[in-house]
């Protein structure tokens, strides 16, 4: 399988995930660059389901067997840059995987800010090309038995040092699945 990883990342977690995946499944990687830079506008357009679009992607999606879309969740939304990417390329994508480094963990998965709703939106938009979605929550970086406030959770960063334990286990499983 020849994969393209298309990612959007504001604070680096999904960039880290995309780069790891690119290395481990020998995939090409491309950044999704929104036309607007303002975080406020990106958040607003994510919530309002309108959009300013994304810049041209420097790859031909027809060349790939699968696309792994990677990016964060904000306010329980499939964020505008990721939504725009699917809309723009859904006719060219043969198989779509969605991965997110988000903050909500398995306990909150079905809630307003959880990842399940976002996975459903990806599936709705992508249609039959949708294959699988997987969350790699930064909550997995917190040692078992310890609690973290929502604010602390937002500060957690994926790095070479923190990418161990449960999150690395989830990740290895995902890589094995798609390889
Ligand atoms: C404004 C904002 C809203 C967020 N809302 C959610 C949410 O609803 N659910 C969730 O799981 N994570 C949420 N997060 C956490 C991000 O998904 C998480 O920090 C992610 O790892 C950031 O990815 P990035 O570093 O690639 O930008 C939110 C973060 C921000 C900044």
Q: Number of C-alpha atoms within 13 angstroms, CB side, residue 175?
A: 17
First to last CA, the chain: 7
- Higher local confidence (pLDDT), 50 or 6: 6
Output the CA 147–ligand 1 centroid distance in Å. 18
Cα–Cα dist 26/139, whole Å:
27
What are the pLDDT digits (tens) for 46-80?
999 899 999 999 999 999 999 999 999 999 999 99
| Percent with pLDDT over 70 in the chain | 100
Supply the mean pLDDT for the chain: 96
Mutate to test the pocket of ligand 1, among 32, 38, 73 (most ligand atoms within 8 A of CB): 73
Mutate to test the pocket of ligand 1, among 103, 104, 105 (most ligand atoms within 8 A of CB): 103
pLDDT reading at 20 higher than 90? yes
Q: What is the mean pLDDT of residues 101-124?
A: 96
For residue 39, list its beta bridge partners: none
C-alpha dihedral, 91 to 179 to 79 to 150, nearest 10°: 170
Rg of the chain on CA atoms, in Å: 15
Cα–Cα dist 89/83, whole Å:
10
Cα–Cα dist 76/169, whole Å:
25
Ligand 1 neighbour 75 (Cβ under 6 A): yes
Output the CA 63–ligand 1 centroid distance in Å. 31
Q: What is the mean pLDDT of residues 125-133?
A: 98
User: Which residue, by CA, sits nearest to atom 30 of ligand 1?
Assistant: 74
Q: What is the mean pLDDT of residues 107-135?
A: 97
Cα–Cα dist 59/161, whole Å:
32
Q: What is the mean pLDDT of residues 80-85?
A: 98
Tell me, yes or no, if the pTM score tops 0.95. yes
């Amino acid at each position: 399988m020849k994969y393209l990883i298309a990612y959007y990342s504001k604070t680096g977690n999904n960039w880290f995930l995309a780069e790891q995946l690119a290395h481990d499944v020998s995939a090409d990687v491309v950044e999704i660059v929104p036309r607007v830079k303002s975080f406020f506008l990106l958040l607003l357009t994510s919530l309002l389901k309108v959009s300013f679009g994304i810049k041209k992607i420097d790859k031909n999606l027809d060349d790939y067997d699968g696309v792994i879309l990677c990016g964060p969740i904000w306010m329980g939304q499939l964020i505008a840059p990721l939504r725009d990417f699917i809309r723009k390329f859904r006719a060219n994508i043969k198989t779509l995987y969605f991965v997110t480094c988000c903050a909500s963990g398995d306990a909150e998965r079905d809630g307003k800010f959880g990842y399940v709703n976002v996975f459903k939106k990806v599936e709705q938009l992508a249609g039959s090309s949708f294959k699988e979605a997987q969350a790699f929550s930064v909550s997995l970086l917190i040692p078992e038995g310890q609690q973290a406030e929502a604010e602390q959770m937002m500060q957690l960063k994926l790095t070479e040092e923190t990418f161990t334990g449960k999150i690395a286990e989830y990740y290895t499983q995902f890589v094995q699945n798609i390889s």
